[in-house]
Chains A and B, each alone.
Chain A
Amino acid sequence: EAGVTQFPSHSVIEKGQTVTLRCDPISGHDNLYWYRRVMGKEIKFLLHFVKESKQDESGMPNNRFLAERTGGTYSTLKVQPAELEDSGVYFCASSQDGLYNEQFFGPGTRLTVL
Chain B
Amino acid sequence: AQSVTQLGSHVSVSEGALVLLRCNYSSSVPPYLFWYVQYPNQGLQLLLKYTSAATLVKGINGFEAEFKKSETSFHLTKPSAHMSDAAEYFCAVTRTGGGNKLTFGTGTQLKVEL
Contacts and interface: CB of A to CB of B under 8 A. Distances in A.
Interface residues of A, number: 28
A3 B46 CA distance: 13
A44 B43 contact: no
Chain B interface residue bracket vs A: 20 to 34
A100 B99 contact: no
Identify the interface centre among A48, A55, A99, A103: most chain B CB within 10 Å of its CB. Answer: A103
B102 interface: yes
Nearest to A9: B41
Contacts of B106: 40-42
Contact of B102 (A41, A45, A55, A108): A45
B99 A108 contact: no
Interface string A83-114: 00000000101010001111111111000000
A101 B32 CA distance: 11
Contacts of B102: 33, 35, 43, 45, 103
A45 B43 contact: no
Contacts of A104: 43
B102 to A, nearest CB: 7
A67 interface: no
A4 interface: yes
A102 B43 contact: no
Given A104-B43, A105-B44, 16 more contacts: A3-B43, A35-B104, A40-B106, A42-B4, A42-B106, A42-B107, A44-B104, A48-B99, A56-B101, A91-B43, A95-B100, A100-B49, A100-B100, A102-B46, A105-B36, A107-B41
